[in-house]
């Protein structure tokens, strides 16, 4: 596809020396460094929300000087950023205009009409990212078959351009009806705007998302336009600052689908890199799973404000077709949209619930104990931090139960106060319910777990997958404390805690591959199959992704394409993405593919449809670029966990039984021989609870494997 803003680039060399993975979180920026010996180093530095790139640059500078090496030895920087997400949440994106077909300027604001909550008259609808007066209509029309029924009226376009010029917009989205069928009017408008408003960034909907459904396409294109100037600026700045450290390595950016793109492409198509941190965590899990020979994994990533679940099946990450940025966290938000800004792009399918370490527990007015979705966040944080929050959080409950080190967290970096945690649980949970403090804390622990179970079910059971056939991989600071109890409720018998569980996202960045995804809507019933049309659609897409990869400096021979179709029973609306076994399209392949669809449908929904006619809704192409990157990194564990001996602590597994004396160990004190629980494993960035009935040992690559000993 033609992109007038593309400039040819130099070839990206295959990385052989040091690589850096950088994940920016709300509180900390995590950096993981690799060197030629395939060993990993890590660094946590405070995030710098006024300009996130500062923390990256200072982190890299610190590491380079610690190790006495120069910036030139860094070969690649892989980055997940929240810059775009924050721009949307804080409404700090570009002043954006929208050009659309006459009669449809309100599509962006009318959305899908549906509201996210049924009984909340206080709900505030998110304001559209483009104000109504900057949504301009042009007279033109393309029909559903792609024929032009009304020619583009240039004078209405001139009026629109004048209006946008007067308003000094810096970014323009163009989304016309049925442009996914025939983009010529959008292309024409794009060229005219680029001539008349050369400083303005232009996003054309058929380039961002050539897919049917005008609201979804408009919303996605508008978000792209809204964040593009900012992302471009941010990445340019980052590149410049790194150059001052003599780091001139290419920067790759994580997308929300789990693939990487070069920063130059990210600047053009930033919509794909929004909320990419969580995706990186899942990539890490997929790699750990691959090396550990566990093909089927459910991930549980528990951080400060939320817990996230996703699923890896036969080594493949499952993806979803859309999500909303800025919507409050809840399982039902996966079904009922409308509380955020819709993005229709492939994303790692992640279900999120408000059950993080900072999630607040309370008793509601009718007497039930609730956990989340409100969170004390990182500041003031849990009551035990002593920064002023009086309400008990999940972390406070864990501390009362003895699961956490009573002196400090984060390897001593954060002093904590168990008495404040106990007071919070006592005052706000135990007293109003008549439970004792231990029962109350244990209740909070169990309810947080039940929220996580709901998140896991929504990525597994709701897709027809039985969690019992998976292992649970827990990471994030708090995940490993809750994993065994969650696993047991879901009949999962194996829990894996990867090394450095608090740094999984940063590590995952180093494991990800460069990926390009593209899509075309065809909406073709199989009783009216047009094989030549399908052939040409797939060939066009193949050329498109290869051209993109070449423009980014990759060699064509390193690009591997795989094709997919979104298929449904004719008349239904739930399409399933099915991989094609080859790129050469013929009748036989379609028959095989619809057979796979039926198999997958039955697996997901428990029955086969009565229709024998299918509909091919979208064609998809995924290009993976292999950069020859090594994937056999090892953590140098001795550096992380200086062993201490013979520590014990009283912890509470069953409040009726009271506290029991429990061994506290570090990962390095564990071995290949299974050790029966109860055991608490303390690490720099995470704590793992091995309850009674479970036994822990160290497997390959420093993974902690915890298995249920009794049924």
Partner 1 sequence: MTVTKTNPKFNPVHLELIKNAIGSVVDEMVLTVVRTAYSSIMKDTMDLSSAFCDRQGRMIAQGLSLPLHLGSIPDAMDKVLEHFGDDFVAGDVVILNDPYVAGGMHLPDIFMFMPVFRDNYLLGFVVLVAHFNDMGGRVPGSSAADSTEIFQEGLRIPIVKLYEKGKRNDMLLRIIRLNVRVPDIVEGDLDAQYAACRIGERGIQELADKYGIDMLKEYFDELLNYSERAARNTILSIPDGTYKFEDFLDDDGVNMGMPIPIRVRVEVTHDEILFDFEGSSKQVQGAINCTMSFVKSSVYFALRSVMSSDAPNNSGFFRPVTVKAELGSILNPRAPGACAARGVTGFRVIDAITGALSFAVPKRIRAPGEGGVTSYSISGYDIDGRFNMFREAVMGNWGGGLNRDGLDGVANPAANVGNAPCEMVEKQSPLQVEKYELVTDSGGAGQWRGGLAVRRQLTYLGESATVQLRSDRRIHPPYGLYGGRSGAPSNNELVEQGNSEQLPTKFVRQIKKGQSICHTTAGSGGYGSPFERDPGLVLSDVVNDKVSREAAKEMYGVCLNGPPWSVDEPATENLRGTHEKEPN
Give the contacts of 38 (CB within 8 A, at least 6 positions apart).
630, 632, 633, 634
Smallest distance, Å, CB 131 to partner 1?
A: 6
* Structure tokens belonging to residue 642: 């200086």
Q: Is 662 helix (H, G, I), strand (E, B) or coil?
A: strand
* Structure tokens belonging to residue 689: 């609870």
* Structure tokens belonging to residue 134: 């900057």
Give the contacts of 145 (CB within 8 A, at least 6 positions apart).
181
Q: What element of type H or E holds 327?
A: none
Cα–Cα dist 299/456, whole Å: 8
In the bound state with partner 1, the residue whose beta carbon lies nearer, of 12 and 456, is 456
Q: Applying CB under 8 A, does 523 fall inside the site for partner 1?
A: yes
Q: Applying CB under 8 A, does 322 fall inside the site for partner 1?
A: no
Of the candidate spans 71-79, 183-191, 283-291, 448-456, the one that interacts with partner 1 by CB under 8 A turns out to be: 448-456
Smallest distance, Å, CB 222 to partner 1?
A: 15
Q: Applying CB under 8 A, does 604 fall inside the site for partner 1?
A: yes
In the bound state with partner 1, the residue whose beta carbon lies nearer, of 494 and 604, is 604
Neighbouring-strand partners of residue 100 = 137, 175
Q: Applying CB under 8 A, does 450 fall inside the site for partner 1?
A: yes
Q: Applying CB under 8 A, does 488 fall inside the site for partner 1?
A: no
Of the candidate spans 219-227, 534-542, 547-555, 602-610, the one that interacts with partner 1 by CB under 8 A turns out to be: 602-610
Near partner 1 by CB under 8 A: residue from 11, 36, 38, 110: 110
Q: Applying CB under 8 A, does 114 fall inside the site for partner 1?
A: yes
Smallest distance, Å, CB 409 to partner 1?
A: 26
Q: Applying CB under 8 A, does 212 fall inside the site for partner 1?
A: yes
Cα–Cα dist 335/610, whole Å: 25
**In terms of Cα–Cα distance, which of 258, 305, 296, 249 is closest to 277?**
258
Q: Applying CB under 8 A, does 643 fall inside the site for partner 1?
A: no
Near partner 1 by CB under 8 A: residue from 148, 197, 363, 708: 363
Q: Applying CB under 8 A, does 365 fall inside the site for partner 1?
A: yes
Give, in degrees to the nearest 5, the angle at Cα 151 between 146 and 157.
115
Near partner 1 by CB under 8 A: residue from 18, 87, 99, 107: 107
φ, ψ (nearest 5 deg) of residue 416: -130, 165
Cα–Cα dist 359/361, whole Å: 7
Give, in degrees to the nearest 5, the angle at Cα 22 between 62 and 552.
120
Of the candidate spans 366-374, 407-415, 531-539, 623-631, the one that interacts with partner 1 by CB under 8 A turns out to be: 366-374
Of the candidate spans 79-87, 110-118, 284-292, 659-667, the one that interacts with partner 1 by CB under 8 A turns out to be: 110-118
Neighbouring-strand partners of residue 614 = 569
In the bound state with partner 1, the residue whose beta carbon lies nearer, of 61 and 131, is 131
Near partner 1 by CB under 8 A: residue from 451, 460, 594, 618: 451
Q: Is 475 helix (H, G, I), strand (E, B) or coil?
A: strand
Near partner 1 by CB under 8 A: residue from 92, 112, 582, 700: 112
Cα–Cα dist 452/486, whole Å: 7
Cα–Cα dist 226/203, whole Å: 9
Near partner 1 by CB under 8 A: residue from 605, 631, 658, 671: 605
Q: Applying CB under 8 A, does 387 fall inside the site for partner 1?
A: no
Q: Applying CB under 8 A, does 177 fall inside the site for partner 1?
A: yes
* Structure tokens belonging to residue 668: 């390095």
Per-residue buried b or exposed e for 579-610, using 16+ beta carbons within 10 Å of the residue's own CB: ebeeeebeeebbeebbebbbebbeeeeeeebe
Near partner 1 by CB under 8 A: residue from 111, 308, 520, 707: 111
Of the candidate spans 69-77, 241-249, 427-435, 672-680, the one that interacts with partner 1 by CB under 8 A turns out to be: 427-435
Q: Applying CB under 8 A, does 642 fall inside the site for partner 1?
A: no
Please list every residue from 122 through 141 that binds partner 1, using CB under 8 A: 122, 124-125, 131-133
Q: Applying CB under 8 A, does 104 fall inside the site for partner 1?
A: yes
Cα–Cα dist 56/62, whole Å: 10
Q: How many Cα atoms are found within 13 Å in the side-chain-facing hemisphere of 402?
A: 22
Q: Applying CB under 8 A, does 362 fall inside the site for partner 1?
A: no
Q: Applying CB under 8 A, does 574 fall inside the site for partner 1?
A: yes
The whole-angstrom distance between residue 417's C-alpha and the CA centroid of its chain comes to: 33
Q: Is 63 helix (H, G, I), strand (E, B) or coil?
A: helix
Smallest distance, Å, CB 328 to partner 1?
A: 13
Please list every residue from 136 through 165 that binds partner 1, using CB under 8 A: 143-144
What's the DSSP call for residue 22? E
* Structure tokens belonging to residue 665: 């160990």
Q: Applying CB under 8 A, does 457 fall inside the site for partner 1?
A: yes
Q: Applying CB under 8 A, does 375 fall inside the site for partner 1?
A: no
Smallest distance, Å, CB 617 to partner 1?
A: 10
Give the contacts of 684 (CB within 8 A, at least 6 positions apart).
410, 411, 500, 502, 640, 641
Of the candidate spans 182-190, 296-304, 307-315, 445-453, the one that interacts with partner 1 by CB under 8 A turns out to be: 445-453
Give the contacts of 642 (CB within 8 A, at least 6 positions apart).
666
In the bound state with partner 1, the residue whose beta carbon lies nearer, of 4 and 573, is 573
Near partner 1 by CB under 8 A: residue from 215, 323, 507, 597: 215
What's the DSSP call for residue 430? I
Smallest distance, Å, CB 517 to partner 1?
A: 21
Report yes or no: 480 and 687 within 8 Å, Cβ to Cβ.
yes
Binding-site size for partner 1 (CB under 8 A) equals 73
Near partner 1 by CB under 8 A: residue from 79, 344, 442, 620: 442
Smallest distance, Å, CB 213 to partner 1?
A: 4
Smallest distance, Å, CB 607 to partner 1?
A: 6
Of the candidate spans 90-98, 412-420, 440-448, 477-485, the one that interacts with partner 1 by CB under 8 A turns out to be: 440-448
Smallest distance, Å, CB 459 to partner 1?
A: 12
Residue with tokens 């960034």: 201
In the bound state with partner 1, the residue whose beta carbon lies nearer, of 446 and 542, is 446
Please list every residue from 323 through 342 that binds partner 1, using CB under 8 A: 331-332, 335-336, 338
Cα–Cα dist 84/225, whole Å: 11
Neighbouring-strand partners of residue 332 = none
**In terms of Cα–Cα distance, which of 279, 288, 340 is closest to 308?**
279
Near partner 1 by CB under 8 A: residue from 140, 207, 214, 352: 214
Smallest distance, Å, CB 396 to partner 1?
A: 16
Q: Is 654 helix (H, G, I), strand (E, B) or coil?
A: coil
């Amino acid at each position: 596809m033609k992109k007038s803003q593309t400039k040819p680039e130099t070839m990206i060399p295959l990385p052989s020396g040091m690589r850096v993975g950088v994940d920016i979180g709300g509180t900390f920026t995590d950096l993981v460094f690799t060197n030629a010996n395939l060993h990993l180093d890590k660094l946590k530095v405070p995030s710098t929300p006024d300009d996130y790139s500062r923390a990256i640059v200072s982190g890299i500078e610190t590491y380079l000087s610690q190790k006495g090496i120069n910036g030139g030895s860094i070969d690649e920087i892989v980055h997940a950023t929240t810059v775009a997400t924050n721009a949307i949440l804080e409404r700090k994106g570009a002043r954006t205009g929208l050009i659309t077909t006459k009669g449809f300027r309100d599509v962006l604001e009318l959305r899908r009409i549906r509201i996210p909550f049924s009984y909340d008259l206080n709900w505030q609808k998110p304001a559209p990212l483009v104000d109504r007066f900057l949504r301009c209509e042009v007279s033109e029309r393309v029909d559903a078959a792609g024929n032009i029924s009304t020619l583009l009226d240039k004078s209405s376009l001139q009026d629109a351009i004048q209006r946008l010029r007067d308003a000094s917009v810096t970014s323009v989205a163009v989304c016309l009806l049925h442009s996914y069928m025939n983009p010529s009017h959008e292309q024409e408008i794009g060229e005219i705007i680029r001539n008349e408003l050369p400083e303005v960034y232009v996003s054309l909907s058929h380039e961002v998302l050539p897919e049917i459904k005008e609201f979804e396409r408009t919303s996605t294109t508008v978000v792209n336009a809204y964040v593009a100037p900012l992302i471009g600026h941010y990445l340019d700045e980052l590149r410049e600052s790194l150059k001052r450290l003599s780091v001139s390595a290419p920067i790759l950016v994580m997308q929300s689908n789990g693939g990487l793109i070069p920063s130059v492409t990210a600047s053009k198509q930033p919509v794909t890199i929004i909320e990419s941190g969580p995706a990186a965590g899942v990539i890490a899990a997929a790699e750990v799973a691959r090396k550990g020979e566990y093909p089927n994994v459910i991930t549980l990533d528990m951080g400060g404000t939320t817990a996230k679940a996703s699923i890896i099946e036969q080594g493949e990450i499952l993806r979803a077709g859309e999500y909303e940025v800025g919507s409050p966290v809840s399982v039902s938000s996966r079904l009922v949209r409308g509380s955020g800004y819709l993005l229709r792009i492939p994303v790692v399918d992640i279900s999120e619930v408000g059950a993080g370490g900072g999630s607040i527990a309370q008793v509601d007015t009718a007497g039930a104990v609730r956990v989340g979705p409100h969170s004390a966040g990182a500041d003031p944080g849990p009551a035990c931090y002593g920064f002023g929050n009086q309400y008990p959080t999940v972390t406070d409950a864990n501390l009362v139960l003895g699961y956490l080190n009573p002196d400090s967290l984060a390897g001593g970096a954060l002093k904590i106060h168990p008495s404040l945690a106990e007071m919070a649980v006592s005052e706000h949970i135990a007293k109003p319910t008549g439970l004792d403090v231990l029962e109350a804390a244990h209740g909070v622990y169990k309810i947080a777990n039940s929220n996580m179970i709901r998140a896991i079910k929504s990525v597994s059971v709701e897709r027809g997958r039985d969690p019992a056939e998976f292992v649970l991989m827990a990471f994030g600071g708090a995940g490993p404390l809750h994993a065994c109890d969650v696993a047991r409720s879901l009949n999962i018998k194996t829990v894996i805690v990867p090394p450095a569980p608090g740094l999984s996202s940063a590590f995952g960045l180093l494991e990800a591959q460069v990926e390009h995804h593209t899509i075309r809507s065809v909406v073709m019933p199989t009783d009216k199959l047009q094989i030549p049309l399908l052939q040409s659609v797939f060939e066009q897409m193949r050329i498109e992704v290869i051209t993109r990869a070449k423009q980014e400096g990759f060699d064509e021979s390193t690009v591997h394409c795989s094709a997919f179709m979104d298929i449904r029973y004719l008349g239904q609306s739930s399409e399933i993405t099915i991989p094609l076994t080859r790129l050469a399209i013929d009748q036989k392949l379609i028959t095989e593919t619809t057979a796979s669809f039926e198999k997958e449908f039955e697996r997901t929904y428990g029955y086969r449809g009565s229709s024998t006619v299918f509909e091919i809704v979208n064609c998809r192409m995924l290009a993976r670029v292999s950069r020859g990157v090594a994937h056999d990194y090892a953590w140098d564990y001795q550096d992380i966990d200086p062993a201490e001996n013979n520590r014990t602590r009283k912890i509470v597994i069953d409040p009726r039984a009271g506290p029991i004396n429990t061994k506290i160990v570090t990962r390095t004190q564990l071995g290949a021989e299974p050790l029966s629980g109860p055991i608490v494993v303390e690490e720099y960035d995470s704590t793992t609870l091995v309850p009674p009935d479970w036994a822990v040992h160290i497997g390959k690559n420093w993974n902690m494997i915890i298995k249920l000993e009794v049924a």
